[in-house]
Amino acid sequence: MELVLDSIRKVYGKKVALHDFSEVFTPGVYGLLGPNGAGKTTLMRVIADVLRPTGGRVMLNGKDKDELDEGYRDIVGYLPQDLGLYGSFTGRKFLMYVAALKGLRRQEAAVKVEDLARITNLSECLDTHCGKYSGGMKRRLGIAQALLNDPRILILDEPTAGLDPMERIRFRNLISQISKDRIVLLSTHIVSDADMIAKQIILLGKGRIVEQGTVADLQASMQGRVWSARLPQACLAEISERLVLTNVAQKEGDVEVRIVCERKPLDGAVPAQPVLEDCYLYHFKYLAERGEW
Amino acid sequence: MRLEQGTSKLEGLEPELEVPDEELTAIVEKLGRMPSALPDESFVEQVLLGWQQQEEPEQQVQIARKTIQPMSAWYRCKVVLSHLDYGFMLCGLVFYLLGYRWLSDGPLPREFILPVISSIPFLAGILGLMRMHDHGVLELMMSLRIRFVWYMNVRFLVLGLFSLISNLLFSFALAGAGETWLILTLHWSIPSMVIASIAMLLSVKVKNLAALGMSYVALPVISLMFYGEETVQNLLLGLPPTLLACGFMVALFLLIASTVVVNRQIKDGGMLLGTSA
């Protein structure tokens, strides 16, 4: 299975949200990272077929999305960023309704709703009104509905927002396991979520791909750009104004800082092992502050 | 002090440990005074990394593969109609009857009561439909297999038919069959279609349900103010049926045109970009 995005462009009035975005997706998890307004949600909406691009094509196995029409949406599972729920619906009623709109027969849907409720840890509250759900429960119900039609393409916009650490682990494990033969596109602000399960990371900024590659590739690209230094507490304010700090930790009266910089930023700074977060901050803070993209 | 033999599972391996009581007390006190180091920020991530390796049992994530089933038009209609907002439709009918009751006691001539209230059932129904915008369900609905534009059109059609039947029955009750009924029908159908067109256009633009509701309340109020004018009443009562029929055609054209615009908005995802105000 191959999902091709060919020069996707989306313009809102005078604002260009996506600049000729091209990418080929094959089964596996893709992590989409970028600051607010980078175009992540627009891109996901285009792939989920809820937003028509101004230009470009989305093709599945060589066929245009518009040509496939219902056949395309039938294999897509989508969790929107701001999914709300009808407060008067129970979780079960909501899932059954979505299942019906996805074309599942009642009996099949009933079984699947039970399965997915168990997987998303919602079995206990399936017959509770959605109005009483916590943020995390709503998110899990959103994940469950996205999986109802056994989607080959799963699009998850901020899926872990509002989930506690245990729920995030469950979610990651679930996505890791179901991604064997599916394309999973995951947008998140929590870098570690993408770091752990994505086979490919796409850094998106101002509607363009800023950088992409495996986590190892991106980390390797940061070699020599991440530094660690121990400073007196008093210097911290001045340093944090001058340099891009990715972490600050208190160490016996001093502070240990992690710095992203192209060259050695301070006397006594030593090279540190890069992580994905460093790469994110390098592009979206260090380079952005210098106007380099 | 000597550790009790046999209390440890590592019996035999544990080295003998002899500490005087005073020294032990001193150590305990010292330990109590030592500041306990807080885990640094990466602690949670490290723990998560460890847990991530634990896999869920395979059967737990087994999602049964389904075959793509064809959906007949009847099935689609059944799905869409099964979740109509009957509560809102009923409310519309109640307001419609209350409006008639209130206006029939007022100074408005009988011919102009229906033109003022005829749009109420449709407006109430569309307000119920647009709850999905306010509740944040819209984007999900747009991604589902049943084409959203089709879904919306079916709902608009049902609401339109509901409104039409309500008004037809009422006009029969008021005027009976014949030419009087036809004139009365032309009188209410024209504003009804114009208001429906405006309501549909607003529905794809205004995200906020309260704001949409207010604008929907304003529409019959504006038509009440319009039909309340004596000059307007005299002008309309003097219109020949052929001119009314022309007005009907224009209103119908307006309704069709707004449906086309709304459909285009829905297809392009324009509803997602509507104003929240």
Q: Are A137 and A162 in contact (CB under 8 A)?
A: no
What DSSP designation does B37 have?
P
Cβ separation of B144 and A69 shorter than 8 Å? no
Pick A48's closest partner by Cβ from B58, B62, B143: B143
The predicted pLDDT at position B49 comes to 55
What does the pLDDT look like over A191-212, one tens digit per residue?
888 888 899 999 999 899 999 9
Pick A74's closest partner by Cβ from B52, B62, B68: B68
On the CB side of B33, how many CA atoms lie within 13 Å of its CA?
A: 5
What does the pLDDT look like over A64-117, one tens digit per residue?
999 988 889 999 999 998 888 888 899 999 999 999 999 888 899 999 999 999
Rg for chain A (alpha carbons), in Å?
21
| Averaged pLDDT, A214-234 | 90
What does the pLDDT look like over B50-108, one tens digit per residue?
555 455 454 444 444 445 567 788 888 888 888 778 889 999 999 999 999 898 888 78
Confidence of residue B31 (pLDDT cuts 50, 70, 90): low
| Averaged pLDDT, A151-155 | 94
- Determine which of B46, B139, B265, B273 to mutate to test the interface with A (most A C-beta atoms within 10 Å): B139
What does the pLDDT look like over B210-266, one tens digit per residue?
999 999 999 999 999 999 898 998 999 888 989 999 999 999 999 999 999 999 988
Interfacial A residues in 1-40 facing B (CB < 8 Å): 12
Residue of A nearest to B131 (CA): A86
pLDDT above 50: residue B9: no
Cβ separation of B144 and A165 shorter than 8 Å? no
Confidence of residue B33 (pLDDT cuts 50, 70, 90): low
pLDDT above 80: residue B273: no
Cβ separation of A85 and B147 shorter than 8 Å? no
Q: Choose among A250, A64, A75, A244: nearest CA to A146.
A: A75
Pick A147's closest partner by Cβ from B40, B60, B63: B63
Confidence of residue A253 (pLDDT cuts 50, 70, 90): confident
The predicted pLDDT at position A112 comes to 94
B51 contacts in A (CB within 8 Å)? 169
State phi, psi for A283 to the nearest 5 degrees.
-75, -45
Percentage, residues of chain A above pLDDT 70: 99
On the CB side of B131, how many CA atoms lie within 13 Å of its CA?
A: 14
Cβ separation of B142 and A50 shorter than 8 Å? yes
More confident site: A15 or A167: A15
The predicted pLDDT at position A163 comes to 82
Minimal Cα–Cα distance from A212 to chain B, Å? Answer: 23
Measured CA angle at B267 (ends A11, B79), to 5 deg: 145
The predicted pLDDT at position B252 comes to 96
What does the pLDDT look like over B121-173, one tens digit per residue?
999 999 998 888 888 888 999 999 888 999 999 999 999 999 999 999 988 88
The predicted pLDDT at position B19 comes to 67
A159 contacts in B (CB within 8 Å)? none
Q: How far apart are CA A70 and CA B2, in angstroms?
A: 78
What DSSP designation does B62 have?
-
pLDDT above 90: residue A173: no
Cβ separation of A45 and B147 shorter than 8 Å? no
- Residues 6+ positions from A122 with CB-CB distance below 8 Å: A91, A116, A137, A140, A141, A144
Give the pairing type, strands A28-33 and A200-205. parallel
What DSSP designation does B275 have?
B
Q: Is A86 on the interface with B (CB under 8 A)?
A: yes
- Helix, strand or coil for residue A198? coil
pLDDT above 50: residue B12: no
| Averaged pLDDT, B186-199 | 95
Q: How far apart are CA A23 and CA A3, in angstroms?
A: 8
Interfacial A residues in 186-205 facing B (CB < 8 Å): 192, 196
Highest mean pLDDT among A100-104, A179-183, B17-21, B212-216: B212-216
Q: How far apart are CA A28 and CA A8, in angstroms?
A: 21
User: Whole-model pTM?
Assistant: 0.80
| Averaged pLDDT, B160-187 | 88
